Amino acid sequence: MWSEAWRRARKPHRCIACHETITPGDLYWAFSGLWDGSWSSGKQCARCQAIFEFLRSNTRDPVDLALDCGEIWEGDPAAHDMALWTRGDAQAWAQEQRAA
Ligand SMILES: [Zn+2]
């Protein structure tokens, strides 16, 4: 079992990938379920989720949900641009994803 969805924060949360605070009112990505035999759950800010989705669609290797595999993503300028996203950019993107 696995569930994941966009949620809107009602209280502050901490992003598991960048450890920045997800502030109330922001959209964030929440997931929970069994992963490799153990229970796992977490919350990711919209920007980290955008980067995660980008990596997942652009690499054949499994992508660590926490984005902390220690590898430096090189090559695609889109990934670099994404890392420079502001909170507002990420929220606009998340809003689109949520509506889709
Ligand atoms: Zn984050």
Domains of the chain: 2-99 (3.30.1740)
In the reported structure, the alpha carbon of residue 22 is separated from the centroid of ligand 1 by a whole-number distance in angstroms of: 8
Radius of gyration of the chain (CA): 13
Bridge-based pairing of strands 38-45 and 27-35 is: antiparallel
What's the average model confidence in pLDDT over 31-59?
86
Give me ligand 1 centre to Cα 11, in Å.
Answer: 16
Residue 32: beta bridge partners?
3, 41
Q: Which residues sit with Cβ closer than 5 angstroms to ligand 1, an ion?
A: 15, 17-18, 45, 48
The tens digit of pLDDT for each residue in 74-96 reads 666 676 677 778 889 999 999 99
Q: How far is the CA of 71 from the centre of ligand 1 (A)?
A: 17
| Entry pTM | 0.77
pLDDT value of residue 65: 55
Least confident piece of the model among 20-34, 61-75, 77-91: 61-75
